[in-house]
Amino acid sequence: MADNNAIYAIRHNDGSISLYIDEDYARDRGIDPATLTRVEIPRELYVSGSIQQVREYVATYLEAQITGTA
């Protein structure tokens, strides 16, 4: 696995978010890698944040992409 602070995410139609450590893991779970969004996570959050904090960060990032406020 590459040394980075990125995570891959997909937002489902119901608004829920699934997180994947890499594209291969997503593919193994039946997800088309083309549908994933790569999100760079701040190092401190990546290292010591809870999964809920990471999920909230990714949700905010994806929402900003949709609304164009990023």
Question: Tokens 């890698």 label which residue?
Answer: 33
- The tally of domains found in the chain comes to 1
Is 53 a domain residue?
yes
Examine residue 15 and state whether it is found in any structural domain, yes or no: yes
At residue 23, what is the residue type?
E
Supply the pTM of this predicted model.
0.81
Phi, psi torsion values for 39, nearest 5 degrees: -120, 120
Could you tell me if residue 1 is inside a domain?
no
pLDDT in tens, the chain (70 residues): 445 789 999 998 898 999 999 999 999 999 999 999 999 999 999 999 999 999 999 999 999 987 776 5
